[in-house]
Amino acid sequence: MLTIAIRFRVRPEWTTRWLDLVEEFTEATRAEEGNAWCWWSRSVDDPCVFFLLEGHREAGVEDHLASPLIRKIQREWPQALVDTPKLIIATVPGDGWQTMEMLPVPPHSPS
């Protein structure tokens, strides 16, 4: 599974519009056959920082990168950014999220 984390530093005037700007890409990525997840989150320390977390099955990566939306975001997203995004890419074993065994949560009793 290819896992990607990208940090975007967004201009202050774009923070309320950022998720609208990225919506088409997000929805298209989520619809790709090889996509396992595509989630956005916002930093609790800096409201101008957004994170994109993507998971792709190996077979779907090439199709994702060949999407015409990639060229579109290369044209449109920089206007909203402070600098070039930073990323971490890793291939991890398995096909999704693993249970965190060191922090088990006991079953809850009905109230």
Q: Specify whether the CB–CB gap between 103 and 18 falls below 8 A.
A: no
Residue 31, C-beta contacts closer than 8 angstroms, at least 6 positions apart: none
pTM of the predicted model, to two decimals?
0.88
HEC sequence for 40-106: EEECCCCCCEEEEEEEECHHHHHHHHCCHHHHHHHHHHHHHECCCCEEEEEECCCCCCCCCCCCCCC
Q: Between residues 29 and 110, which one has the greater pLDDT?
A: 29
For the segment 23-48, the average pLDDT, to the nearest whole number, is: 95
For the segment 32-50, the average pLDDT, to the nearest whole number, is: 95
Both structure tokens of 64: 């994702």
By percentage, how much of the chain surpasses pLDDT 70? 97
Q: What is the set of domains in the chain, with CATH numbers?
A: 2-91 (3.30.70.100)
Residue 110, pLDDT above cutoff 90: no
Give the pLDDT confidence score for residue 82 in this predicted structure: 98
Query: 57-101, pLDDT tens digit by residue?
Result: 876 677 788 888 889 999 999 999 999 999 999 998 888 888 999
Give the pLDDT confidence score for residue 16 in this predicted structure: 97
Q: Between residues 42 and 57, which one has the greater pLDDT?
A: 42
Place of tokens 């939306």: 69
